[in-house]
Structure 1
Amino acid sequence: MAAQLEQMYQCLEQRQTQLKEEVAMRTAALEHERQNLATIIENVGDGILSLDSCGYIELANEAAALFLEQPKNELMGSRIEECCPKWSQLYHHTHTNQRFELKMAHRTLLVNVTPESVMGESHSCLVLVRDVSEERQLVDHRRELDRQMFQMEKMATMGELAMGLAHEIGNPLAGINICWQDSASIPKLWADPYQLKQVLLNVMINAILMMQNGGNITIGICIAGNCQSLIPENECYVRFCIRDSGPGIAPNILPRIFNPFFTTRENGSGLGLAVVKKIIDQHNANIQVDSQLGQGTRFEFTWPVASKWQLTHPNEITKPNLPLCQKRCLIVND
């Protein structure tokens, strides 16, 4: 009996020794992994923060301290609002991931917040911070280049219109002043660019021919309708207004100006405004004319803006005469 007990005791001691060795090995492996993870967290380019349920910073790496412009030892244990006053405005305590931009004094940060829940209750969250300042600067620079290119294309189109007017009416526009007015940035239209330019050209030619002694033409463009999101139901469109200081159109003539071959000029063809009306109708646009004798004439037409679906599926449109107006230079705002 004593021998059996001694043997069992030795077995237990051996097993205990084996367990201690296994625990020591696993502890060393876990410590090695912890050190590797700590090294990765500390040297990764993105900022990493761990917040408890009350918003206190439990962990922060060097990148986070750099981005938040605070010494690392001061970040630890402090509330996130102390280094990010706008945090409470941007972050909402929910159980879903959140992503937003944070503007610092010298940086633009992209912040990703991943909440951790215990038993359905918010416990803590992991915050990843990336410096996107250079990316945003590149985007702004590209936007400025696009704006300058748009201005150059627009001025080129103005020159094309002026030359087209001079060619059509056979004079250098002497005594005619053309003024361009704008509202806001004009979105892309759902239009044939050449037909849209033809509409502008024909209306302006008509105005110039009516002002034999010179005068003024004002072209205005603005956005109208509900343009919060470019979907067909929102009826977003651009309004063009061409106003002249000519003699005006008599009330009995006004209803007939779009009729083919109708003209009040001796050598007129009566097709210019008829073409305008046809193009307007083909594009599901609308045109109105207001004129008073001695006070000039105002042509106003509204043109539909390309929807998001039309912008992303230009090759799936079945209407052959309504391509996307890619030539933004045709939008003559200033």
Structure 2
Amino acid sequence: MDKSMLLTKRNRLFINLFAVGLLLHTLSSLFIHYQNPVSIPLFAILYCILLYILRRMNINNYVMQTLILGGMNGYILYLIIDTPYYIHILLFVYPLFIASLYHSIISSLILLPITALEVIYLFQKNYINFESTIEFGNLYVVLLFLILISLTAVVHSLFMRNTWHRMEEQQSTLERALDSREGYLHMFFENAKDGIAVFDLDARIIALNPAFELLYGWSREECIGNHIPLVPPENVAAANERIEKVLKGESFYSFETKDMKKNGTFFDAQLTLSPIYNKSGDIVAMSVITRDISYRKEAEKLIVQTEKLKLAGEIAAGVAHEIRNPMTVISGFIQMMNTDDQHPYQTYTKLIASELERINLIISEFLILAKPHVTKAKEFHIERIIQDVVLLFSPELNLRSILLKESWNAQNAIVIGEQNQIKQVIINIVKNAIEALTNEGSLEISTDLETEGFVSIHIRDNGAGMTPEVVNQIFEPFFTTKTTGTGLGMMISEKIIQEHAGKITINSQLNKGTTVSILLPYNKAEKSATSN
């Protein structure tokens, strides 16, 4: 602990002890009857109040120490003069004891002769009063006690001063070692691969390393002393809650969340947030260590998706062979029963037939999952496939007064793959879009040629839309929001697109609509192919 701070705390303690002594003296003068009358120490009380005022004014600690020791000594001198009992002389021990607690050899050496002169003066002045109540043996013991306490106080102060000097030397050695250690810490801070930043209590950045600049895209000049938006708008409230907890002393280790770069893009981040304390144990700042785990998340997602596809394929193989044969028999008998218009259970058999068709649909989708990658790849015009699907749904669009908007900007795009599978994907997506629309809604289908040899297909609707939770689960097996859905359509669609080296994404907002985007690699058609 700093020597000045230690002296300040001791001054505060001894002023309080001084006040307690005055309080006890005042109470005793009011309620206890002595042989000699005891007066209330008004001057001592005023002096104590003055000490409190000076402490509030933060005067020099050594001056305050002198005033406290002088005040205690003067108060005891006043007490003995006011009530001349020889036993009160022992009270002179207390200031000497306090001086030894200050570990100040100078204070002890100054106070010791002053106390000796005061004792001599009191014996000369009150010798007649003391003579009738004290024996020589008692006087010898009192004086010997005073001398021993005084010497002890001086020796203790000398010992503590030497001890303090040794502690200061050790601290100096530690500080030199710390300076060397701080150099290594600085190199670690600057060369760490994880982004590290230090924030003040108002969440302004006060230090950051190069990795943090590279990760978030903000320069040091832009960050220092400023509030920087590092989290997506929807996560701001949760981020503020974490900051409040950190300011209360809580830490977060390897916390996974979404953070935002300067260009507005999001990335998966693993954060460690910790409070930073000063020597007094007060929180003065916050540290944030950020690690980009986007690649790890993508890898985990691919592994999980592969396991799901593998599981679904294994289930498909078993279901297709074990269930379809008995289902064929049951379906045959149900059809025979339905041909008889007179049988009394026609309502139930038709319901059974409908459910059998639904089971057969599920088995068919299982079989698609169990199929291997595309083996009969052929070239086909992607726009023609989409236009065939549009033609297929035109009657339903007209019947429900759904406005169809078309934008064809990829006339020469040739995709290599299984066109029936791609057609099935487009059918699934358009069907879902129509089911999400109310009457007089709108459906927009467009194609564009993208960079890096991809053709994009966008299918937009202004229907009910989906929540982020639904979007995150839409490619999960058996997940569906429909009462009659199988929960396999979108998973199969994603599998087909991935087998064609493409990508499918969904962007949806609740009550605003959904956009499904498909990217497929393409070859530009030759003129002869186009004319055909």
TM-score with structure 2 setting the length: 0.29
TM-score with structure 1 setting the length: 0.44
Instruction: Give the number of the structure with larger relative contact order, counting CA–CA contacts within 8 Å between residues 6 or more apart.
Output: 1
Q: Which has the higher helix share?
A: 2
The higher radius of gyration belongs to: 2
